[in-house]
Amino acid sequence: MKTSKVGLALLLVCCAWAVLIVTGCAKDEVDTTGTIYGIVNDADNGEPVSGVYVVLNPRGKTTNTGSDGRFEFLDMEPGQYTIQISKNGYKTNTKRISVVAGEQASGDMVLERGESRIKLSTNSLAFAKEETSKTFDVMNIGTSGSVSWSVTFTESWLKVTPVNGMTAQGKNSTVVVNIDREKISQDMTANLLVEADGESMPMEISVKFGESEGGGGDEPSEGKGSCGEIVSCDSEVKIEFLSCVKNADAVEFQFLLTNNREDWRIWFNRDQSDGVDDKGNSYPGYNTKFYVGNSDSFVTNGNAVSLMKGVRTKCRVLVPGIKDGASFLQRLDWVISSSQPWSPQVKKITFTEVKW
């Protein structure tokens, strides 16, 4: 009987350890990701704000707040992120946030009423291998007065010049971002924050580590082409470059356009939509053809284009008569003449360094 009691005790101990081990393993599996959860409130009255467009970087995930002002991002890898929130009639706001495995990070934020007075020429800078310097512009799109701004960041391998400034109405200020490659040993990402007039806008920085391969990071992929920078007409009109090819003396490039505001009707001014190549040759807009969606008819000055909210629309631009010796389009502007029911922050879309 004593032996049986000892054996039973040992069996119970073993079972207890087995349960602890299994529970511990299961817990480890659950705790590999975290959650971001937040509520957006009006800064004036404290009420929740619905329909706020929320962007999470890096990763580029997006969502909109519900009627209760709530949003969430599930199954997030541990690390540093920024949340940007924006809505028509409010100033854009941004918050840095840390995600810890197995925990819920608070993304509660507020929006101040008022129209945006600043815009960034781009929301990301990608440094190819060996690249150490790039620029972006802080643009004053307000209707009156100068805007004071500053840039904040925490990474020691970044240097920004200048870190603050004052930009007059309708003018741009150029900011230089330098990478100290002696302080990095792998691919890196970071976010700058540009703060001005109650607004906070993020600039995502991504850096490739190592030596260049096959002629450098500025070379476009064969058959795909590349685009150096796209300046959208509005912070809520997103544009993604797809490809650029040259056939004989004509160049065609394609991109995706997503309108994240309400449904939009827009008229373009083809005659004023000019371009210039890297040799200084001009390409007048009345010769350039702009196609939207699956239409075989190009847009003219009298045509209205409809862009539905949240729909990614494929567009293409055909530029004929490319001069001999030209390597790429240095710049091409597509000018907006009017739109309904809302007006963009600037009345043109600009593509720079479009390479075939």
Instruction: Annotate 79-129 with three-state secondary structure.
Output: EEEEEEEECCCECCEEEEEEECCCCEEECCEEECECCCCEEECCCEEEECC
Let me know how long the chain is. 356
Provide the token pair at 183: 């302080």
What is the rounded CA–CA span in Å between residue 291 and residue 308? 16
User: How far is the first Cα of the chain from the last one, in angstroms, to the nearest whole number?
Assistant: 88
Single-letter residue type at 104: Q
What is the rounded CA–CA span in Å between residue 110 and residue 87? 11
CATH code of 118-207, in short, is 2.60.40.10
Among candidate residues 336, 327, 277, 255, the one with its CA nearest the CA of residue 301: 336
Q: What are phi and psi of 280, to 5 degrees?
A: 90, 5
Q: Are 136 and 231 in contact (CB under 8 A)?
A: no
Helix (H, G, I), strand (E, B) or coil at 326: coil
Q: Give residue 135's pLDDT.
A: 81
- The H or E element containing residue 256 is strand 250-259
User: How many Cβ atoms from other residues are within 10 Å of residue 294's Cβ?
Assistant: 7
Per-residue pLDDT of the chain in tens (356 residues, 90 and over written 9): 455 565 666 566 555 555 555 555 544 555 789 999 999 999 999 999 999 989 888 777 889 999 999 999 999 999 989 998 988 788 889 898 999 999 999 999 999 988 778 888 887 888 888 788 888 888 888 888 899 999 988 899 999 989 999 999 888 888 888 899 899 999 998 888 898 887 888 888 889 987 544 443 333 344 478 998 899 999 899 999 999 999 889 999 999 999 998 889 899 998 889 999 999 999 999 999 999 887 778 888 878 888 888 888 889 999 999 999 999 999 999 999 999 999 999 999 999 999 99
Q: Give residue 295's pLDDT.
A: 73
Q: Are 254 and 242 in contact (CB under 8 A)?
A: yes
| Per-position b or e across 62-101, b if 16+ CB within 10 A of its CB | beebeeebbbebeebeeeebbbbbbbeebbbbbbebebee
Q: What is the pTM of this model?
A: 0.47
Q: Are 53 and 73 in contact (CB under 8 A)?
A: no
Q: Give residue 92's pLDDT.
A: 87
Single-letter residue type at 150: S
Strand bridging mode 109-111 / 34-42: parallel
Cis peptide, bond prior to residue 341, ω within 30 of zero: yes
Q: Give residue 300's pLDDT.
A: 86
List the chain domain ranges.
34-111, 118-207, 226-355
Instruction: Please check whether the two domains, 34-111 and 118-207, share a CATH topology.
Output: yes
Helix (H, G, I), strand (E, B) or coil at 2: helix
Among candidate residues 201, 126, 190, 124, the one with its CA nearest the CA of residue 158: 190
Start-end of H helices in the chain: 2-30
CATH code of 226-355, in short, is 2.60.40
Q: Give residue 215's pLDDT.
A: 40
Q: 34-111 is classed in which CATH architecture?
A: Sandwich (2.60)
